[in-house]
Amino acid sequence: MRGKILNVASASSDKLSQNQELSDLLQALGVKAKNQFDLADLRYGKVIIMTDADVDGAHIAALLMTFFYQEMPQLIEAGRLFLAQPPLYRMMQGSKTFYAQDDKHREHLLLTEFNQGTKVEISRFKGLGEMPPSQLKETTMNPSTRRLLRVNLPKRDLDGADKRREADRLVTTLMGKKPELRFGYIREHSEDVLSQLDI
């Protein structure tokens, strides 16, 4: 898939059923949505969301996670949905090359992995498309070197019921039809995320 998909949390059922990208995604995975979903039909052991490491990529990942959450939560409950963790920076000094996931990781690598007296060449990736294929394979696709983050979701049982209700509320607040809920959430939690803004 390319670009941003439909926000299923705020779309009508008609709009959802007519969306070609989501229809293609279901077909590629070999499954149907909602109450017709059967984990046994899934063609792959893992479903990996791979987006750029910037805020646009995070937005696309949020839209895709919302789709899986709403249309096939069993996939997440089974531990089969993952987020690829592509690097944001490549850091080189002589023959040493390291990849940093974010600004904090970059600073840590600068202090621990490089000679302090020699210049470190740092390049920021604008997107996965600008990586040469060998670099994309090494950092994001090769099972022995890539980093994956499993998407977790509490089950709707006695142990996880409260946490699942909280997850439902959060998805509705952040992705639903009411912008005032999003605005209120952002105002309430803005201090928590100011340092992570990618402007």
Residue with tokens 């009508």: 12
Are 111 and 149 in a shared domain? no
pLDDT in tens, 7-61: 999 998 889 889 999 999 999 999 999 999 999 999 999 999 999 888 888 899 9
Are 152 and 163 in a shared domain? yes
Domain total in the chain: 2
Among 43-47, 117-121, 122-126, where is mean pLDDT lowest?
Answer: 122-126
Q: pTM of the predicted model, to two decimals?
A: 0.83
CATH code of the domain covering residue 166:
3.40.50.670
Higher pLDDT, 3 or 171: 171
Query: To 5 degrees, how large is the angle CA 182–CA 196–CA 87?
Result: 120
Q: What is the DSSP letter of 35?
A: G
Decide if 114 is inside a domain: yes
- Contact criterion met (CB below 8 Å) for 139 and 146: yes
| Single-letter residue type at 15 | K
